[in-house]
Amino acid sequence: MLQEQELKTFVEGTTNYFEVAAQQPASIGSPYLVTDGQPAVHDYTGMITITGKREGVVYFTAPRAMLTVLLMKMQESDFSHETMRDLVGEVANTISGNARRDFGRDFVISVPSVVAGERPEIPQTAGLRSFVIPINWRSHSAKLVVALK
Amino acid sequence: MSHMNGNGHGNGGPRRSFKLMIVDDSNIMRRRIERSQNFDELELVGTAGNGLEALELFKKTDPDVVTMDITMPQMDGIECIEKIVEIKPAVRILVISALADKATAVEAMEKGANGFLNKPFTDRQLNEAIAELIREA
């Protein structure tokens, strides 16, 4: 089960990502616990599997429109499906990797896997409760979902 | 290998040029590093999306400077650093990774990396890290 301080690590990682990579801060909403089923996802979802001293999954899910603006802020000119997939994977990887500053090296992160579409296959996190960190950036909404043993 | 151009990083004498290889499993990150580095001394000789590709490319192009991600499929950056340093001990390697724990940075340096930059980074941070890398080359 995720502790409050641990959740703060992911909130700070998300804040830092948008401040530095997008050069425009995001507004982070109050994290909440999903008690029934899986959180709804957006068009693109980048997932990191966590193993080692903790087990679970961290994923970043965002709508295409938000990713397009994010890419523009990064001076990208390629807005293809593949680049959208690349971006959500990289965001999930960066926030999860940054969390090792607090969790330590035994917080082992996978390479990103990415799903797209309305009903993607999100790995079942049996026995785990998912915390959702709402992200509001410009006029768009996205989520970071953290489910850890 | 030498030319006389300059961007304010030296003392006005003949300037070395360095062959650059960029290794990252993200196309976006590879393009970002290529676009954001502002050194006339650097000539991009190739990019790779994992450690295995990087190793092959390294043998073909003999880079002097490498930016290296760590978390990649097939062969990670730590293993790749170890192998390319065996081939060319004088290579200068800047690790650019999201992994923010000190132990990973220490391990990368022990394997032969010369610098470590955490993602996400600004253009300024990238260029300062590269400047440090080539100043000591």
Q: What is the ipTM of this complex?
A: 0.92
- Tell me what pLDDT residue A129 has: 84
Instruction: List, in order, residues 6 or more apart from A33 with CB less than 8 Å away.
Output: A129, A130, A131, A132
Question: In Å, how far is B88's CA from the nearest CA of chain A?
Answer: 28
pLDDT confidence tier of residue A118, bands split at 50, 70 and 90: low
Q: What is the pLDDT of residues A65-80, one digit of tens each?
A: 999 999 999 999 999 9
The answer on pLDDT for B94 being more than 90 is yes
CATH number at residue A39: 3.40.1550.10
Q: What is the pLDDT of residues A15-42, one digit of tens each?
A: 999 999 999 999 999 999 987 778 889 9
Determine which helix (DSSP H) or strand (DSSP E) holds B102, and give its type and residue range: helix B102-111
Q: Are A102 and A95 in contact (CB under 8 A)?
A: no
The residue that leads in pLDDT, B48 or B5, is: B48
Domains with residue ranges and CATH for chain B: 2-135 (3.40.50.2300)
List CB contacts (< 8 A) between B71 and chain A.
93, 97, 109-111
Q: Which amino acid appears at position A34 of this protein?
A: V
For residue B107, the chain A residue with the least C-alpha distance is A105
- Tell me what pLDDT residue A35 has: 79
- Tell me what pLDDT residue B63 has: 97
Q: For the residues B8-37, what does the mean pLDDT come to?
A: 85
List CB contacts (< 8 A) between B99 and chain A.
97, 100, 109
Asked if A74 lies within 8 A of B32 by C-beta distance, the reply is yes
* Extended strands (E) in chain A: 27-28, 32-34, 44-52, 56-62, 107-109, 113-116, 130-137, 140-148
Average pLDDT, chain A: 92
Asked if B120 lies within 8 A of A96 by C-beta distance, the reply is no
Whose CA is closest to A74, among B22, B30, B118, B95? Answer: B30
Count of structural domains within chain A: 1
Domain that holds residue A103: 4-148
Q: For the residues B73-92, what does the mean pLDDT come to?
A: 97
Q: What is the pLDDT of residues A124-140, one digit of tens each?
A: 666 788 899 999 999 99
Asked if B98 lies within 8 A of A93 by C-beta distance, the reply is yes
Q: Are B78 and B85 in contact (CB under 8 A)?
A: no
Q: For the residues B102-126, what does the mean pLDDT come to?
A: 97
